[in-house]
Chain A
Amino acid sequence: MGPVQIQMREKLVAAFAPLSLDIQDDSARHAGHAGAAQHAAKQGGAATGVGETHFSITIISTAFAGLSRVARQRAVYEVLKDELAGPVHALALKADAPSSSGT
Chain B
Amino acid sequence: MSDAQAFIDNLVKTNDVVLFMKGTARMPMCGFSGTVVKILDHVGVDFQDVNVLADDAIRQGIKDYSNWPTIPQLYVKGEFIGGCDIVREMFETGELKQVLSDAGVALDA
A77 to nearest B CB, angstroms? Answer: 5
Q: Does A73 contact B (CB under 8 A)?
A: yes
Contact of A92 with B82 in the complex, beta carbons under 8 Å: no
Residues of chain A within 8 A of B40, CB atoms compared:
none
Contact of A94 with B85 in the complex, beta carbons under 8 Å: yes
A24 to B84, CA, bound (A): 17
Q: Does B47 contact A (CB under 8 A)?
A: no
A94 to nearest B CB, angstroms? Answer: 6
Query: Binding site of B, secondary structure by majority: helix, strand, loop or mixed?
Result: mixed
Residues of chain A within 8 A of B32, CB atoms compared:
90, 92
Q: Does A41 contact B (CB under 8 A)?
A: no
Q: Does B69 contact A (CB under 8 A)?
A: yes
Residues of chain A within 8 A of B70, CB atoms compared:
77, 84, 90-91
Interface residues on A, range: 10 to 19
Contact of B82 with A103 in the complex, beta carbons under 8 Å: no
Contact of A103 with B93 in the complex, beta carbons under 8 Å: yes
Query: Binding site of A, secondary structure by majority: helix, strand, loop or mixed?
Result: helix
Proximity bits, B63-86, A CB within 8 Å = 1, else 0 = 000011110000000001111111
Task: Given A90-B32, A92-B32, answer yes or no on A73-B67 (Cβ-Cβ < 8 Å).
Answer: no
A48 to nearest B CB, angstroms? Answer: 19
Contact of B89 with A69 in the complex, beta carbons under 8 Å: yes
Interfacial residues of chain A within 53-99, with CB under 8 A of chain B in the complex: 69-70, 73-74, 77, 81, 84-85, 90-94
Task: Given A84-B69, A92-B32, answer yes or no on A70-B86 (Cβ-Cβ < 8 Å).
Answer: yes
A residues touching B (Cβ–Cβ < 8 Å)?
Answer: 35, 69-70, 73-74, 77, 81, 84-85, 90-94, 103
B residues touching A (Cβ–Cβ < 8 Å)?
Answer: 30, 32, 67-70, 80-86, 89-90, 93
Q: With contacts A91-B70, A94-B89 known, what are 7 further pairs, Cβ within 8 A?
A: A69-B90, A70-B80, A74-B68, A90-B70, A92-B32, A93-B85, A94-B85
